[in-house]
Amino acid sequence: MSKKKILIIKPIHEAGIELLKSNSNYDFEVVENDDPEFLKSKIKDIDGISIRTSKLNADVIKVANRLKIISRHGVGYDNIDLEASKQKNLTLAITATANAVAVAEHVMFMLLNISKRKNMYDTTVKEGKFNDRNKLPKTVEIWNKNILIAGFGRIGQALIKRCLGFEMKVFVYDPFVSKDVIEKLGGTKVDSMEEACKDMDAISLHIPLNDKTKNIINYDLLKTMKKNCIIINAARGGIVNENALVNALTNNTIRAAALDVYEQEPPPDNHQIFGFSNVLLSPHNSALTLECRRRMAIEAAESILYYLSDKSKLNFNNIINKDVLNI
């Protein structure tokens, strides 16, 4: 019997590679090139794919005659053509349980960094300006402050624990999660994101990017926020309208922003967002801790191996479209 074939688009942590190597029933290949034409030449006889943030468009998926599962090394899957996947009846898996802690910690790092003006204070000391400390803008506490967690999946639920540890008042917007679940974890459910934003000191976004959420943070909404509000986006670029955010920062409509994701990645070299001292940026790496990279690689590999060998072993929390499994 011929071996099943697995394609790894962009390298993953060695732990995932070792797992694949330990299964002699499969051949796998890791490729750096994610150009669509190259992928079309590779994918024709592939049974399973692991993919990170590369685009997997309809033209590529259409020629995948043996493909059964796409395993997304990460959580968001807006880089995959879902309609083409549906037409092919493909199973889509994500690494939903792998990155919650890493992203939640990154959000807290961003929130604390802005609130405590880490960069400014650190530079002051290193430049020999210690005695200027009383001239510097003052920091603020996050104790007793209102924070809105928009999206209450695993990342949102990991984040609430950390916010409560700092004794913040946590409000949650997620129409798909019940009031009982939110209150049990220490939050207060809000039914209107627009209304809730008016009273928040910080807003952290953890919602998927789709037609309903694109540009949900726009200038009309930003204008309603408190002047000391901090916007944090570690979800998907496109949820925040970056032109609107630039305008809000220019006009001092909000206090600050922290972005790990962008409408265009990488963002253009002349992006206006780079010019603000009250903006903290990271290169879409909130989940790329050593521990999380290892967990994601293992989960991504396991989803493919278990799907192709024994579907009962699958982590069903990681399967987006369970209806196609037929088990």
Q: What is the dihedral of CA 72, 76, 82, 85, to 10 degrees?
A: 10
Asked about 106 being catalytic, the answer comes back as no
Asked about 13 being catalytic, the answer comes back as no
Question: What angle (nearest 5°) sits at the alpha carbon of residue 75, between those of residues 70 and 81?
Answer: 45
Annotated catalytic residue: which of 13, 284, 293, 295? Answer: 284
Q: In whole angstroms, what is the distance from residue 222 CA to residue 229 CA?
A: 9
Look at the block and give the residue holding tokens 């209304």. Answer: 195
**Strand extents, DSSP E, 52-89:** 69-72
**Strand extents, DSSP E, 54-108:** 69-72, 91-93
Residue-level length of the chain: 327
Asked about 284 being catalytic, the answer comes back as yes
Annotated catalytic residue: which of 29, 141, 183, 265? Answer: 265
**Strand extents, DSSP E, the chain:** 4-9, 26-31, 48-51, 69-72, 91-93, 146-150, 169-173, 188-189, 202-205, 230-233, 256-259, 279-281
Q: In whole angstroms, what is the distance from residue 196 CA to residue 221 CA?
A: 11
* Secondary structure (DSSP) of 134-177: GGSPPP---TT-EEEEE--SHHHHHHHHHHHHTT-EEEEE-TTS
Annotated catalytic residue: which of 72, 106, 154, 236? Answer: 236
**Residue positions annotated with a catalytic role:** 236, 265, 284
